[in-house]
Amino acid sequence: MKESTVPMKQEERQVAETREETRTLIPPVDIFETEAGLAVVADMPGVAKEQVEVHVENDLLTLKGSSKTHMETEPLHREYELRNYFRQFQLSDSVDQEKIKAEMRNGVLIIRLPKKEAKKPKQIAVEVA
Amino acid sequence: MTRTWDPIRELDALRRQVEQIFDEHNTWSKPFTRFSFLPGLSARSYPLINLAEDKNNIYIEALAPGLNADTLEVTVLDDVLRLSGEKPSISEDVKPEAYHRNERSAGRFVRSIALPTPVNSDGVKAHYHDGLLNLTLPKAEEAKPKQIEVKVG
């Protein structure tokens, strides 16, 4: 599973945005294989369940999330800055895209990508005349 | 008020912009502003915090996704706040060779933070939601700012 070198999707470029907003955080991820397929786990603190977006298009898995601080006052001492998250991965075509499941738990996004059922070779009977 | 064009000020603004760009890309001197919680970098002080205050309270927000809330401990002694807890590995039984990427960190952590003023430890409120730990720490009475009346006469 390789990380996509595809630049950010076109739709985002078209929207008139300041340069500031297109800068995104890259969430750290774990990707591992399970019996059923692949699992992708991403740390995205500050992202509520409703604010996360996972989609697959042309074997390209896109993770997006908009994060929000819970603080009402501007910090005096700042060690991090919350921004929107964005990361893309190129999937192999053996993933069953219809059955992808995602859940958000305490700022951790867990995506399960099940493998496609293996195609069996079709036996072709040869008729001998 | 009209401002006259001041070339020195313009240059100064440019210098600051350039410095900002360098700061953002120099991950050594300012490691957490952008890729704020990559595992290697954050190993030294975890969790990262933002701190704010108003007249009565100190507010702290800590960046801590995926914690086991039961292990989370917050203690306050005078003006030192101590956060400890554990970020469990999401998948204990995964074989090392099954990993394609392993960028997230896991494990126990502890961090002590010196607060700007002493706080009243009885009134501390903590809230963990969406991977952010938010604390409200009421300042101790003696640390609250006093309004001084200005007499005009």
Q: Which of A3-12, A63-72, B15-24, B86-95 has the highest mean pLDDT?
A: A63-72
What average pLDDT does this structure show over B61-66?
Answer: 91
Predicted confidence band at A14 (pLDDT cuts at 50, 70, 90)? very low
Q: Do A107 and B51 touch (CB under 8 A)?
A: no
What CATH class has B45-142?
Answer: mainly beta
Contacts of residue A3, defined as CB under 8 A and 6 or more positions apart, other chains included, come to A87, A88, A89, A90
CA of B5 vs chain A CAs: smallest distance (Å): 26
Between residues B43 and A53, which one has the greater pLDDT?
A53
Question: Each residue of B62-74: b (16+ CB within 10 Å) or e?
Answer: bbbbbbeeeebeb
Instruction: Provide the pLDDT confidence category of residue B28 given band limits of 50, 70 and 90.
Output: very low
How many CB atoms sit inside 10 A of residue B140's CB?
Answer: 15
B138, B56 contact by CB (below 8 A): yes
The pLDDT value recorded for residue B99 is 86
- pLDDT number for residue B26: 56
Q: Supply the pTM of this predicted model.
A: 0.70
Nearest residue of chain A to residue B38 (CA atoms): A28
Cα–Cα distance, B45 to B61 (Å, whole number): 14
**pLDDT over 70 (residue B31):** no
Instruction: Pick the more confident residue, B30 or B72.
Output: B72
* DSSP 3-state of A103: strand
All domains of chain A in start order, with CATH: 2-114 (2.60.40.790)
Residues B74, B5: Cα–Cα separation, whole Å: 53
Q: Which residue of A has its CA nearest to B68?
A: A106
DSSP assignment of B12-49 = HHHHHHHHHHHHHH-TTTSTTSSSTT-HHHHTSS-SEE
B31 chain-A contacts, CB cut-off 8 A? none
Give the span between the Cα atoms of B40 and B23, in whole angstroms: 19
What is the Cα–Cα distance from A6 to A11, expressed in whole angstroms? 13
Taking an 8 Å cut-off on Cβ atoms, the answer to whether A107 and B66 are in contact is: yes
Record: contact B52-A25, CB cut-off 8 A: no
